[in-house]
Amino acid sequence: MKLDEAKVMVIDDDPVMTAYVVNMLRRLGVSQVLEARDGATGLAMAASAKPDAILSDIHMSPMNGFEFVRALRKHPVTDLRKIPVLIMSADSSTDKLNESVPLGIAGYLIKPPNMSMLKTKIEHALKFR
């Protein structure tokens, strides 16, 4: 799937970071960009909108990014379980990366992501769709 055909959801509780990532996705030509402020909202939105890929922050409330991915992977709708998720975090510690890998993520981006890395990671994630 090409970027200009993709529907990508951004889940982040920081409106400035969300606007930054959404703007970059639009500049990359992503056809549809969805926004959610936390994992719980993102989970409900994913069920109805069925995005092709999801970018999710880790540190959010009431449902953080790891809880979101766990819930998505256990969702009763099989197609939703397969949506590739990229984790975004300012936390570059090995512990967070190691915690995210067993969740079946498609990649890990350090915030703020640069355009080139975001493009590479999104294109890679979309190959699994």
CATH topology of domain 3-126: Rossmann fold (3.40.50)
The whole model's pTM is what? Answer: 0.93
pLDDT band (50, 70, 90) for residue 1: confident
Q: What is the mean pLDDT of the chain?
A: 91
Contact 46, 9 (CB under 8 A): yes
Q: Give the tens place of pLDDT for each residue, 3-43.
A: 999 999 999 999 999 999 999 999 999 989 999 999 999 99
Quickly list H helices, 9-114: 15-27, 39-49, 65-73, 78-81, 94-100
What tokens does 24 get? 């970059």
